[in-house]
Amino acid sequence: MNQVIDCLCSRRSVRSYSSRQVNLDDLQAVLRAGTFAATAHGRQDPWIVAVQNPDIIRRLVAMNAAVMGTTDNPYYGAPTIILVFASDPSVWPNSLYDGALVLGNMMNAAHSLGLASCWINREREMFATDEGRDLMRQFGLPDGLIGIGALSIGYADGEPKAPKERKAGYSRVIA
Ligand SMILES: Cc1cc2nc3c(=O)[nH]c(=O)nc-3n(C[C@H](O)[C@H](O)[C@H](O)COP(=O)(O)O)c2cc1C
């Protein structure tokens, strides 16, 4: 099979990470792949923030866990968290689609480099709080953005689960 298609089909969500940090070259390659995702009208609406700072990661873990109502680590202990922000949909109706494609590109790019990842939710609620808005200012982001989602990124600790069977009729060709 074509290598790109093989990469797209073999990526899996990883929920257990070793403490080994992602090197900067690989991280930059993943971020760059995110910036080349298609965006509606070519507006490049999303903003990407990769966090490796342990203090900020601890804050993100606590904020996400508070939304989820858990004491577990919602980012599964990954040493890098990549956050994606975009315009409020009332300002730019395509912002969620744009941000989701950025996240998808980065997951697949990470996999192609031998990195593990998992999409993590709840950033919308996390960054709608005062603490979230403070962090966004600290990141140097413009005002008025919402959190779209995040990726845990690192090296897998163990083998991810095999994928579920694809549902019958998932795709079809009408000739
Ligand atoms: C929009 C979206 C939100 C997700 N949120 C989470 C999440 O918060 N935590 C998590 O562990 N996985 C999350 N996932 C990962 C899915 O659970 C995962 O993609 C799915 O189980 C299929 O597994 P696979 O990625 O290995 O194919 C999310 C995926 C998507 C696309």
Residue 124 Cβ contacting ligand 1 at under 6 Å: no
Find out whether the beta carbon of 163 lies less than 6 Å from any atom of ligand 1. Answer: yes
Cβ–Cβ under 8 Å, residues 63 and 126: yes
Q: Name the pairing type of β-strands 116-120 and 145-154.
A: antiparallel
Domain segments of the chain as ranges: 15-154
| Block residue for tokens 């890098």 | 80
Q: Report whether CATH 3.40.109.10 matches the domain 15-154.
A: yes
Query: DSSP code of 43?
Result: -
Q: Residues 56-107: pLDDT tens digits?
A: 999 999 999 999 999 999 999 999 999 999 999 999 999 999 999 999 999 9
State the pTM of this model: 0.98
For the segment 97-156, what is each residue's pLDDT rounded down to a tens digit?
A: 999 999 999 999 999 999 999 999 999 999 999 999 999 999 999 999 999 999 999 999
pLDDT in tens, 9-53: 999 999 999 999 999 999 999 999 999 999 999 999 999 999 999
Q: Count Cβ neighbours within 10 Å for each residue of 40-68 and write b for 16 or more, e otherwise.
A: eeeeebbbbbbbeeeebbebbbebbbbbe
pLDDT at 97: 98
Rounded-to-integer distance, Cα 155 and Cα 160, Å: 11
